[in-house]
Chains A and B, each alone.
Chain A
């Protein structure tokens, strides 16, 4: 009986748990049908494009401006999120105060709130007549329908990524090292920047990367507050949408392909950081 089960071997040892065939079959077929085959279509249709056409589409002024707006706003939003996400994670892990659980629960709101709802709510809040927008309008700063507005929407969707990446690492951090640093005479700032931050940095970077990637692809919460002024506040996903509405499928595919490549490169970067991080902590 046992010998029958132990007949499938590989280099890691003996495979005794039954069900490998079923599991790999279900996993691969669902992944293939629902994700990989549809995703392959974009490469199939991109292959049908002429190279000169492709270059012409993705280097047109409007499209370049779309990429620049998406990337620059997503980058600033991810930076803002890295700072505030760090503060939030710190407050949630290290301090006790009334309403802490409520605050912890609120962090995931951007995950749970549909992006179109977030989009119209932020627009109403930050437009010239909005509760906050009116305050800024008085000192001459327009938020909605500018790149500041786009950045704010991206901060909204990205904040949980940083908090949830940093929080578990901070919880596990051994406080002995801080105490030792403090006792050896390091000030609070120095302890934070020299002892705590280096430990948290990989997690912070991973959270930053996820927030950045989410910001680049974000559509729903951004389109309302962006105002979509050509060459100024049009984001790349919106350009894909516009081309689709004009039935210019080839153009949409070309823009999407470049955007996909950008996010893949970013994910690759995040993954290599995480692998490096694992080796570093194990080594």
Chain B
């Protein structure tokens, strides 16, 4: 930033009299604001180190505490691999469902005017403000033995609670608004003139979306999918309530971490955590690349 402003500054001195005022103010300001700059950067670095970097370092240090062989055996353990499989399944399902929903909902709310738009937008955001534990609870109250759909499901021998479908439903619930939240502002800012022009010239609904709307939102969509993936693979509270902690069946990786930790198998817990840390870091890098394309 400094490099950019300096030539201007010199030009200004050479230029008209008004700008020479800056010359008087700037040097006096520079020393002080430089000190402020370093203090603020220092505070930020310290804060991030204490809150974010050291926890990552702790995971790595503890995971490798008993050596590489123990680490490898832990992450290749049968239950760990099964938990990873379920995490991937739940994440893919949540991302797919929420992407479809996000596109339709964002298109609906930005291209059409109808009564109750605001209410609908607020309802879509609901899962953001709900505790994950409550998100799990609502599915037990719906599909569990005591739930109002319980007798029906039991009669048809469908298991949702304490089974894989429940885990997937809970994951979808907590990540529900993610894709919508990223698409909506972009579509809203774009307006609907282009779509209207295309419609008046006779383009069909799908053509309009694919040829006009989609090019505007593709990076925002990618960004939303990345955020949704991050949240879905890491969901703990909601899944914890509904999974019933059946090892090898309804255990996702974050739940597996908890089980190992509560069994005082700390090294294994941190080894499994390290897989999730790697996944999180990969997602963060992807997010940064996508962000530079969207220009947020």
Contacts and interface: CB of A to CB of B under 8 A. Distances in A.
A, B bound: yes
Interface of A: 1-2, 5, 10, 12-13, 15-20, 22-24, 26-27, 30-31, 34-39, 41-42, 44-45, 84, 87-88, 90-91, 95-97, 101, 103-106, 108-118, 120-122, 124-125, 130-132, 152, 155-156, 159, 168, 182-183, 188, 213, 216-220, 224, 236-238, 240-241, 244, 249, 252-253, 256, 259-260, 263-264, 266-267, 271
Contact of A249 (B52, B62, B132, B140): B140
Contacts of B270: 120-121, 124
Interface of B: 1-2, 21, 25, 29, 32-33, 36-37, 40-41, 43-45, 47-48, 50-56, 58-59, 62, 97, 100-101, 104-105, 107-108, 111-114, 120, 122-134, 137-142, 144, 146-148, 169, 172-173, 176, 192, 195-196, 199-200, 202, 204-205, 208-209, 227, 230-231, 233-237, 240-241, 253-255, 257-258, 261, 266, 269-270, 273, 276-277, 280-281, 283-285, 287-288, 296
A121 B50 CA distance: 12
Contacts of A260: 130-131, 134
Contacts of A264: 129
A38 B41 CA distance: 46
A112 B280 contact: yes
Contacts of B254: 114-117, 220
B131 A259 contact: yes
A124 B264 CA distance: 12
19 contacts: A16-B196, A17-B205, A18-B199, A19-B209, A30-B101, A45-B147, A103-B48, A109-B284, A111-B231, A112-B284, A114-B235, A114-B273, A114-B280, A120-B266, A168-B296, A237-B132, A253-B137, A260-B134, A267-B128
* Nearest 7 Cβ contacts at the A-B interface: A217-B131, A114-B234, A220-B236, A19-B205, A219-B237, A121-B55, A23-B108
Majority-rule SS of A interface residues: helix
